[in-house]
Amino acid sequence: MAEPSESLAGLVEAALATADPARPAVTEPAGTWTYGELDRASAELAAALAAAPGREPAVDGAGPAPVAVLLPRGAAAVAAMLACVRAGRPFLPLPPDTSSAALPDLLGVRDLVTAGPPPAWWTGPASRVHRVRREGPPAARPAVQAVAGDGTGYFLATSGTTGTPKVVRGSAAGLAHYLRWQREELALGPGDVLSNSADPWFDFSFKETLAAVVSGATVAVLTDRELLGGAHLLSWAADHRPTMVCLLPSRLAALLGAAERAPAELLDAAFGRLRLLLVSGEVFPTPLLARWRAVCPHATVLNLYGPTESTVIKLRHTVPPGATVDTPTVPVGTPIPGTEALLDAGEAAELTLVSDQLALGYASGGQGSATRFGTHPDGRPLLHTGDLARRTPDGAIEIVGRADHVVKRHGVKVSLPDLEAQARTCSSVGSAVALLLPGERERIVLCCTPYGAAADGPALRRLLREHLLGRVPAAAMPDAVRVLPELPLDPRGKVDRRALAALFEPRPEPVAAHG
């Protein structure tokens, strides 16, 4: 078992104990929480969660039962997660629109943290409801709970983009290892302001919220409205002047669409203090990096990689100001300390991660998934990521795409990620996503957004087809090219492939009215 000072609970406790209580911890539209308020609120809730009635074992007996956190992005959610960590209880963040108790029942949840009335499905004599109270008398500092230090720290349900959603059992020790790495490698401290664009039920948010807290930095929360489009996001940045921003490539593209049209004074307000741009969650096209450099040349860019099963992030590639990238997409680079990346030689192969800081497995789901856990011959935990990757000439790792996006069309193997990458090399294309549509005659449809002078859809379709000739195999040439003003995004901010595919579903014929 980890020493209390090295555990996730010890890391959080030490950060809260040493932070200036008057410093801003979380800034949101409703106001700013100081570190003193965050410490007090999380300590009070931790005391309630650490009480004996709340420490029944989980359904599978693997440690204390988790606590459901039914709160949106914001200070209360941060306080609730900190309280769970301080109490030695795993946290289970759930979207506020959750309408079923299936997941809490599966995990034996009997404690719920929420702001409003509990949902209709939260019933039963053993169920307890807790609130995060910002105001109140000072709460006693709880004893460091190392119960979950070597075990489960949190549960997260994956998005299910590649099949049935899976519930990942997150490692408390692995999360502590990651948070210490981010704080030290990025030199985060009390003077930093970190964006919070991700919801608490996505591990993307941990590098924005928990990483800020253990560094004594400020979390600046974005509202849903500010995430609707690039102009709103740019305005938010100008108001909050962050030093570190975390974005998925899809959201970065939207931000750049607004920034490239903005006056210099607005760009200076938005990015003048920015020193770090963290990108993760999707393949990062190199042309998108070039566009960012034209807008903000002084910030260091990090492309990060790690499935939910890997514990937030396991690889990173740092692009300092003035550096260039010669590959079609920005590499994810090299593993962080404590992780080894296994990759067979060749044009593209599945990436495998070996680390003692991986997640602890699935609490449910996972059968038949491209992402799967295993054990290295030397006994260390291993994760088959289901992502295809290759090594660049200098040894960095470049993600090509998902293994399950390499498809067979009329018996011929076609790599949709390769088709997308080649489409993005066309200077008139902003984003590109390839789909294989099933049916009597399988069709490859390439959806793209225009960039630069390419404003006319038919002209861009012709230009793109000419660009792809000779660059992709004949079997990979798209049957149709669809030009869209923007690609649909899912709640995480990633391109929503299901929504794109729905655009091509046949519509039912209208039924004629009879007089």
pLDDT digits (tens, 9 = 90+) for 232-259: 999 999 999 999 999 999 899 999 999 9
Percent of the chain exceeding pLDDT 90 equals 56
Final residue of a domain: which of 116, 143, 159? 159
**Residue 113's CATH number:** 3.40.50.12780
Q: What is the CA radius of gyration of the chain?
A: 23
514 found inside a domain: no
The span from the CA of 68 to the CA of 199, in Å, is: 14
Among the listed ranges 55-64, 414-423, 440-449, 460-469, which one has the minimum average pLDDT value?
55-64
378 found inside a domain: no
The answer to whether the beta carbons of residues 303 and 317 sit under 8 Å apart is yes
452 found inside a domain: yes
In the predicted structure, residue 26 carries a pLDDT above the cut 60: yes
154 found inside a domain: yes
The pLDDT tens digits for 277-315 are 999 988 898 989 999 999 999 999 999 999 999 999 999
438-445 long-range contacts (CB < 8 A, ≥24 apart) are 442/409, 442/410, 443/479, 443/480, 444/409, 444/414, 444/416, 444/419, 444/476, 444/477, 444/478, 444/479, 444/480, 445/478, 445/479, 445/480, 445/481, 445/482, 445/504
The span from the CA of 205 to the CA of 261, in Å, is: 29
In the predicted structure, residue 348 carries a pLDDT above the cut 90: no
pLDDT classification of 496: cutoffs 50, 70, 90: confident
pLDDT of 124? 62
Distance of alpha carbon 195 from its chain centroid, rounded? 13
37 found inside a domain: yes
Mean pLDDT of 4-16: 87
343 found inside a domain: no
The span from the CA of 452 to the CA of 355, in Å, is: 43
User: Per the structure, how many domains does the chain have?
Assistant: 2
Mean pLDDT of 201-208: 95
Final residue of a domain: which of 116, 144, 159? 159
494 found inside a domain: yes
pLDDT of 145? 57
The answer to whether the beta carbons of residues 208 and 73 sit under 8 Å apart is no
Structure tokens at 169: 């059992």
The pLDDT tens digits for 118-154 are 888 887 656 789 999 998 777 777 665 544 446 999 9
**Residue 472's CATH number:** 3.30.300.30
Final residue of a domain: which of 132, 159, 186? 159
For 115, the domain range is 1-159
SS3 content of the chain, % helix, strand, coil (to 5): 30, 25, 45
**Residue 87 exposed, middle or buried by CB count within 10 Å (0-12, 13-18, 19+):** buried
511 found inside a domain: no
Q: How far is CA 161 from CA 339, 433, 500, in A?
A: 25, 15, 13
**Backbone φ and ψ of 401, nearest 5°:** 160, -175
